[in-house]
Structure 1
Amino acid sequence: MRKVIILTLAASAVTLSGCGLGKRKSLDEFAVARNAPLVIPPDYSLTPPVAGTVTLSPEGAQSQAIEALFGGPAPRSAIESSMLDSAGRDRAALGARSIAGDNETRIVDKGATTQAIIAAPQGDGQDASAQTPQ
């Protein structure tokens, strides 16, 4: 019986010592390491504006920012240049994307079903059908 009481007291002491009966200070996670001061790297080519000078146009500022971020245009590889030459990059019309939706642009006739889909009124899709209207 005496051994049981001693073992019970020992187990209680070990258990309670893990709870931290004494008042401890909590650790301050910000005191563990000092923060280094903020430093701006010296290699930026963008300069702050000077009072009394003319500002850049939005296009100039954008191109200057892109140049600072990405550098100049990357050289194309031989394979990419060969593919562009085969596709006819020298024969492409300037502004081709702007004239693609023009009414004078020639298109290929895809049939009555495609025309019916394009001409269909906008709706919620409840009455959608793949049938050509008669």
Structure 2
Amino acid sequence: MRKLILAAGLVATLSACGSSGLFNRDRPDEFAVSRQAPLVIPPDYALVPPAPGTPSAAAVDSGRAAMEAMFGGPAPRSATEAAALEKAGRANATAGIRSSVGDPATEVVDKGATTRDIIAAPEGDGQDARATTQP
């Protein structure tokens, strides 16, 4: 009896692999598939050549155009940011201060040895960090 059930299961399983029989179904023919033609962009008849004497498209500053495309141009400051800048003395700042900060003739205030040691300290996670102060 077991052999008969096993044989019937085997026959049913193998009949699914054939193209005719109980489990027949329509399949697409993979060899009948054809490629579609590539898309072609039609010419734009609305474009006209530039008039003589007009600036060329190459005269546009590509760096500025890219920055404006990425960041959207200068954003207006919020009321909080504007108030903070006013309290910090934005009106008193020299216009070209960022260019002259690294100048050797710029006068700086000596903050002392402790600040110099902190700035010169090697990078690390702080596990072995020690601080000493000298009187």
TM-score range, shorter chain: 0.3 to 0.5
- Of structures 1 and 2, the one scoring higher in RCO (CA 8 A, sep 6+) is 1
Instruction: State the TM-score, normalizing by the size of structure 2.
Output: 0.46
Q: Report the TM-score when normalising by structure 1.
A: 0.46
Higher CA-based Rg: 2
